[in-house]
Amino acid sequence: MAIKIAVLSQKGGVGKSTLARCIAVEYASHNWSVKIADMDLKQRTVTAWNAMRMERGFEPSIEVQGFANVKDALKQESNYDLIVFDGAGQADIQTLNIAEASDFIILPTGVSTDDLVPQIKLAHEFIKKGIERKRIGFSLSRVGSSERELSDAKEYIEVAGYRFLGRIDEKTSITQAHDIGKAANETKYSTVNHVVDEVLQGVIDSIESLDNKIEAA
């Protein structure tokens, strides 16, 4: 049975696909069989990215497939060690279905109030639907140079009662990596990759802290 990680958002443009790609590459680089379930059939951002990755022969290889519903994606569960759900850029019934089916949920957000408030609201809605708080984590995306802004956003997340996983900075090198089929943890700059790795370590630590079923897997 695959471990299932969901990257979800209330709105687009908050770094959801960026994080999904990083997670897939990180686990695949440690010899896990990984599939990204691209649940946004309109945008297909991750699907297009992986086509470039395959064309250039980058390793580790990642499997990506578009799905119209969660049920079809879960039919693949026995074939992989990890399934990463890259949700659509808005919250709907499918978003809840993905969250309920997943072992861990990541809600990426920008540092602005306009980004933070909807994502915190989405997390609260998940809890109302019976999803455990420990299964939800937040990351910050497209972070600029303001340490105060970063600190305030981190505090906002933690005061709301959620785990802060780390951040991904706003860097041209990340955009350039995406443009050729690489992930944000595969840029040509080790300092950029290191910051992304801290988010990924937060994800890994969160997975390992969950129940015995996940730890055994």
Q: Where are the domains of the chain?
A: 3-216
Share of the chain above pLDDT 90, in %: 88
Helix axes 190-208, 16-28, angle to 10 degrees: 80
Taking the C-alpha atoms of 174, 57, 89 and 37 in order, what is their torsion angle to the nearest 10 degrees? -140
Reported as a single tens digit per residue, the pLDDT across 6-37 is 999 988 788 999 999 999 999 999 999 999 99
Please report the pLDDT score of residue 216 as a whole number.
Answer: 43
Give strand pairing partners of 4. Answer: 83
CATH architecture of 3-216: 3-Layer(aba) Sandwich (3.40)
Chain centroid, CA 183 distance in Å = 12
Rounded CA separation 141/117 (Å): 15
For 63-112, how does the pLDDT look when each residue is reduced to its tens digit (9 = 90+)?
999 999 999 999 999 999 999 999 988 878 999 999 999 999 999 999 99
pTM to 2 decimal places: 0.94
pLDDT of residue 199: 96
Q: Which of 23, 76, 44, 57 has the alpha carbon at shortest distance from 185?
A: 23
Amino acid at 214: I
Closest CA to 22 of 34, 40, 4: 34
Q: What is the mean pLDDT of the chain?
A: 94
| Angle formed at CA 130 by CA 129 and CA 135, multiple of 5 degrees | 115
Predicted local confidence at residue 12, as pLDDT: 79
